[in-house]
Structures are given as C-alpha cells and as structure tokens.
Chain A
Amino acid sequence: MFGNLSRQDWILFLGFSAVVLLAPILFQPIGAAYPAILEKFCIFGLFAIGFNILFGLTGYLSFGHAAFLGVGSYAAVWSFKLFTMNVIPAIVLSIIFAGIFAFVIGFVSLRRSGIYFSILTLAFAQMSYNMAYSVLTPLTNGETGLQLTLKDPRIIDAMFITPGTGLPRSSLFGLEISGGGLGGFYFTAVALIIGFYISMRIFRSPFGLMLKAIKSNQNRMRYTGFNTRPYLMAAFVISGVYAGLAGSLMAAVDPLAGPERMQWTASGEVVLMSILGGVGTLVGPVIGAAIIKYFENIFSGFNENALNSVFSFLPDTVREPIVKLLSLFVGEGWSLTLGLVFMAIVIFLPGGIMEGVRLLTSLFKKGGNGNKPAVSGQTQPAE
C-alpha cells in the first residue's frame, strides 16, 4: 500500500525532523525556545496534520474535529487517574477511543458531503461539547475539567511504587513528561515526527491518490466502479486518530482536560491553521499551527506599555496615535489580527503560506516549471 518515497521526500523528512529536534536551539532568536510553547507547536502541528489528511486530500471540511481532541484528552486523563502515570497506555487508550468515536461520527456524517457534511460534524461536536458540560459530568467533571487528585487509584502504579507526596507527574518509564521540562518537548516532537512520516507515506501512497481523486471528482470515481465510502471512512478515522493523539499529548504534558477543548471554536482553529499554512501540503499545516501558536503567545503578551517602549524613539504626539491604533491588534485584540490575516490568506493566497513559498521560488528560478520544490508536491487551491 505504501509506495516508496522519492529522494526529495527523504530530504524533506530529514530536514523536517532536524528542524523539529533542534527547535530549542533554532527558535532561540525569536524567543520561542521554552518547552511550553514548543510542545504546543508539536501538538497542534499533529492536530493540523491529521485535519489536513481529511480536508487537504478529500476536500471534506469538518467543523467538528475538536471533539476527537477532547475525547483523546479525557481518555488520557482517565488512564492517568485509573491505571498509571506512564504515557504509553494513555496514548493507546486515547487512540482507541478517538478512533471509535471518529468511526461512529464518520459513519453517519459521511453519508452527506459539502456543507451538509460540515454541519453534521459541527452538530456532533457541539453535542459532545454540550454533553461534556452537562450530563456527562461524572465522566468529565463538567466545567471544572477533569484533573488528577491524590485519591485516584492508579492501580498499576500502586503495585510497583509507593506514591510520594503531591500529585504525580506523567512520565515515560522514568522520563518526566509533564512539569515543563525538555522531556515533554522531545516526547511530543518524536510523536510529531512519526505523525509527519505517516502522513507523508499516506500522501505518496495509492490510497492517498485515491483520496485526491475523490476531491477532484467523486462522481467520476463512482462511475469507474469505486466505492468511495470506505476510503473516506478511512481518511476520517485516521484524521480523528491524529486529533485523539494530539489530545492525549495535551493531557500528557499538562494532565487535565476540559470541555472547552471540544467547542466549535477549537475546531475552527485547526481549520485556520491548515488554511494558513497551506491545505493539501505536507508541512503547511505544521507551519500554520506553529505560526498561530507563536503569534498567539507573542501578540497576546503585548500591551500598551510594551508598545510605548517599542516606539519610545518617536515624539509623543506621533507615538500616541500609533500606539492606540496598534493596541487594537495586540494583547486582547490578537484574534482581530488573526482574523484579518486569515481573510487575506483566503482572498489572495488560497494555497496558504506554502503557495506563497512556491510562488517566490518559481520567481527566482525563472522557467523552472518542471522543477517543483519537494515541499509542496501538490499545492492546489483550497477546495
């Protein structure tokens, strides 16, 4: 099923892995080298990669992917509470639950396509969110969110070690994951690299080709005698599993889970990430996720005082209006910037940042049409 990767693909993969693993050094100049934000890059990158397998390849726009993320988080925290603080069982459990959940939702939603599919997934996600808030409180602990407590049984851990005082930290056979150390980052980074590798194999496989064919013309696929449903199902479940994995990693680095992770704005966020980076490209979604999370951290930390100090070289009369204007876009108003940038991307550059990169490189290599960069083998307008 998986075809061989070309040399360019291997270069891309190795380059990607190198950048991810060296991130704590490489991102030093832009002030994003601390584990908490790097972990976010990896987790949301993974989430976006999974979303991209569905939306980028098949063109089915799901507005309910956050539900899988939430299910993954809850499953992981329950595994921490009931069994062990080791992250492996938590991840396995999340993947299983998210997979089952995605299968059920996909089975129903994939009967329709286009906007109906979007609305169906949205409806399911909102249902899960509302239920996590209300009826399922025994499972989800409602608004407070599911947290670790000292009274948790943790059966497996209790057999081997005597619990210390205070809340335990999640670990990978002794390597500490939660708690904000580099261990957590490297764990998520390895998960991201594995996820990226799998996504690359899918993109280059006959299966991936089949999904792209569904995107460009599903009817024609059907006329040639293909049953497209199983392929769509597989894509949906795979991307749901990615989301579940991202959710479990989120719980691993910070063992709590709340219902707001399932809200439709969270689903909207992953859509933004994929579009921003470039839908249907391999690294685009990861770049989009990193950019959004980076600027979210940087911009929302800015306030008027910070702006004043930046523009302190200007005379007061000029500085004040500038600071007033810019303060619209930073701090609390960071979402405004995000919305504007997002609109600009959809209007002028439907292929996202990766298309921009491709356009720039083709500008430099005049006439090099056949020489597509390895990064975006199949950049095409979002659909």
Chain B
Amino acid sequence: MRGCIPAATLVSVNAHRVLSRIKSGREPVRLATRVTAMDAIILQILNGLDKGGAYALIALGLTLVFGTLGVVNFAHGALFMLGAFCAVTFNKLLTLEKVTVDPTQLTPWGTPAEIKTSLVEAWLGEFGKVLVNYSVPVSIIAAIPVMLIIGIVMERGLIRHFYKRPHADQILVTFGLAIVIQEIIKHFYGANPIPQAAPAAFSGTAQVGMLLGMGDAIPYPWWRLIYLFFSLAVIGLVFAFLQFTTYGMVVRAGMRDRETVGLLGIDIERRFTVVFGIAAVVAGLAGVMYTPVLPPDYHMGMDFLVLSFVVVVVGGMGSLGGAVAAGFLLGILQSFASMNEIKSIIPGIDQIIIYLVAVVILLTMPRGLMGRKGVMED
C-alpha cells in the first residue's frame, strides 16, 4: 500500500514536468539539471523510507505495548539491539571453523599451513555456502522464537509488576533494564560495531530509475529496498493480525476497555503478554534486517530509542497508524534535511529536524498526528 507512494508521486511529478517543459520551452540543458534535481528528490524519499521503516517498526512495537499494557517501555530499543545481535550470533554460529594443521603444505613464512573449513559448509556442502551467504535473512527464523521468549520473560518477570505504578516508575525501571541489557551485550560482543554482510545477490545497487522508467540516474542499494518492503510486510502482518483475527479483535477490545473484556471471562492478561512478545519480535526483526545497513553495536538500541519515542509521540500515543505514518514521515524529513541544498539554506537543520518537528507537533497538536482522545492526556 505504502510502497506505491513513490511511484504514484513519480507519475504525477513526471507529467507535471513534461507539462512545464511544453509551456516554458526550456532548453535541454536546463531540463537536464531539473531532471537530476528530481532524481535527487526521489533518492532522498527512498533514503528516508528505509530509515523510516526502521523507525516505524520500533515505534509500532512501542505503541502496541503502550496501547495494550499502558506501559512506557524504555527498554524497547534494547530489544531492537538484541534482534540485531541475534543476526550476529547466528552468523557467528554458521561461520564456526574447524582448523586443521596440514603439515605437508607450508605458508610463505615457513609454518605449517592452517586450513580453515567452515563446519556448516563441511556438513552441508553447497547448501551450507548458501546458508552462510544468506545468514542475515535466515536468522529471522532463529530470531522470532528468541525474541518471543525474551519478550514474554520480560513481561512476566518485570513489566507485569509495573502496571499499577506511575509512568515515571515504568520509565525508570525499563531505563535501568535497557542499561543492563546493553552492558551484557557489550561484555560478550565488545564495544566495536560488528559489520554484517547482506547476501551477495543483494549487495549491489538497484537502478530504481530504470524500474520506474526514469532513466538510470537513481542508483539505490538493493538491501535498503528490501528493508523497506520487509518493514511494510511486517507492518501489514501486524495490522492484519489485529484487524482480521479473533485474537486480534480481543486485543483491540482490551485496548479500549480492559476491565469489560476481563469481565467477559477472557484472560486478557495472557493475551497482553503475547502482545508484548509480538512487539519484541517486531523490534527484533527490525534489528535483524537492519544489520547490513548499520553495523550493530551495543548502544544502537539507545540511539534508536530516543528517536522512536519522538516518533511515537508525534504519531500520537496509542495510535498504531500514527506511529507508522510518523515513522516514515520523520525518516523522509530527516533525509531531506540532510541534502546539501537544504543544509546550505539552514545550516545544521539535518541534526535537529526530527526534534524540531516533534516540538512543533506536540505544541500545536496535543495528541500527536493521530492520537486517540483520552490516551495519556493531561
């Protein structure tokens, strides 16, 4: 649904450009510069969309947790980071190597050569190679159960006891939890970012312009395009789950009026636990797929958390659609603000645009873009 937006704007923009060319009769040179400016704009939109995809996925989980459990979860960024490290761990497991010393061969400096063979490749042959190549997308399969368990344990073990406590307490305890998770990861994986490669088939750039019939001026990394579609798919799945399944319907009813649903004999607490697990999975998947874009390190969760909170608040606390829309909107705005043309007009705008937008929206629209009435208003 959202994926067709660039194409749609493109068509109208294209038509508009042709029209203006007919009207003004500009010479081709001028036209060429206009085309590149247009390309730059499309490129920025694409840039913004994939970053926006990450924001939207994290913000979606945050809002889900907030809407159902009423808990402000500052450890949500840590879940994103844990997802990314699921991919790292999976990759490490796949590339475990057996070192055999071969005394017949010598290295150039005279020691017996060590031959490293990947265990997976040794066992599975060609398929093992494919598996290693596709370790990032394949680790999704591993990440889903892991993140689900982490989420459920977190809810049962900690968050559950904070339903009745004030929001400030929830923020504080989850902030503490985020520090703890982050430090544990730092202890085991070190402080340096660990780059993850995208599958070889997707590591090049896509000629998006060609795909859209615009010429070859818009090169764009394949993986980022995939990330965009992946995030759209996950968002679609979450919405479909909430909208079209009975389970989702009960959850939505619980978001509206928890007590009544409980009186109907439904164990709403358990459903909410599952919802927390789903939110953790969504954040985790966002992290897994983001690893080729941004090498994961232990504080990436915190970096994204601050922005995601801004996204949630801009979208409106408790509004799922708002979170997604605001995620993409802020992603696009941020990438536009980092264009040189714009930076030369307002220096430094790229650094502060998101916060500036948040401040303006919060002050003019107290409920955010799509906030429901009565949710966290004061």
Q: Which residues of A contact B (CB under 8 A)?
A: 59, 61, 108, 111-116, 118-120, 122-124, 126-127, 130-131, 133-136, 218, 264-265, 268, 271, 275, 328, 332-333, 335-336, 338-340, 342-343, 346-347, 350, 382-383
Contact = CB atoms under 8 A, between A and B. Distances in A.
Contacts of A264: 306
Contacts of A333: 183, 186-187
Given A114-B378, A336-B184, A343 B352 contact: no
B351 A108 contact: no
Interface stretch (B4-12, B112-120, B172-180): B172-180
B351 A116 contact: no
Contact of A112 (B176, B184, B366): B366
B378 A113 contact: yes
Contacts of A123: 310, 355, 358-359
A124 B360 CA distance: 12
Interface stretch (B161-169, B259-267, B273-281): B161-169
A106 B258 CA distance: 36
B376 A275 contact: no
A120 B180 CA distance: 25
Contacts of A131: 348, 351-352
Contact of A135 (B173, B310, B347): B347
Contacts, number: 117
Contacts of A268: 175
A343 B177 contact: yes
B362 interface: yes
A113 B158 CA distance: 26
A130 B176 CA distance: 24
A118 to B, nearest CB: 7
A354 B206 CA distance: 61
Given A115-B376, A332-B186, 16 more contacts: A113-B378, A115-B171, A118-B171, A122-B310, A123-B358, A124-B359, A127-B355, A130-B355, A131-B351, A133-B351, A134-B348, A339-B179, A340-B176, A346-B173, A350-B169, A383-B168
Nearest to A337: B183
Contacts of A136: 348
B154 to A, nearest CB: 12
Nearest to A342: B176
Contacts of B29: none
Contacts of B31: none
B309 A119 contact: yes
A130 B309 CA distance: 17
A76 to B, nearest CB: 24
B168 A382 contact: yes
Nearest to A137: B348
B313 A116 contact: yes
Interface string B200-238: 000000000000000000000000000000000000000
B172 A115 contact: no
Given A339-B180, A346-B173, A383 B351 contact: no
Contacts of A119: 309-310, 313, 358, 362
B356 interface: yes
Contact of B362 (A120, A218, A338, A343): A120
B173 A130 contact: no
Contacts of B306: 122, 126, 264
B351 A275 contact: no
Nearest to B180: A339
A61 B171 contact: yes
Contacts of A328: 187
A221 B180 CA distance: 39
B317 interface: yes
A343 B359 contact: no
Given A122-B306, A346-B172, A347-B161, A115 B180 contact: no
B298 to A, nearest CB: 10
Contact of B183 (A111, A134, A218, A336): A336
A61 B173 contact: no
Nearest to A123: B355
Contacts of A342: 172, 175-176, 179
A343 B176 contact: yes
Contacts of B177: 339, 343
B72 interface: yes
Contacts of A343: 173, 176-177, 180
Given A265-B302, A328-B187, A271 B172 contact: yes
Nearest to A59: B168
Nearest to B167: A115
Nearest first, the 6 closest Cβ-Cβ pairs linking A and B are: A135-B348, A339-B179, A336-B183, A130-B351, A343-B176, A123-B355
A302 to B, nearest CB: 14
A365 to B, nearest CB: 29
B345 interface: no
Contacts of B175: 268, 271, 342
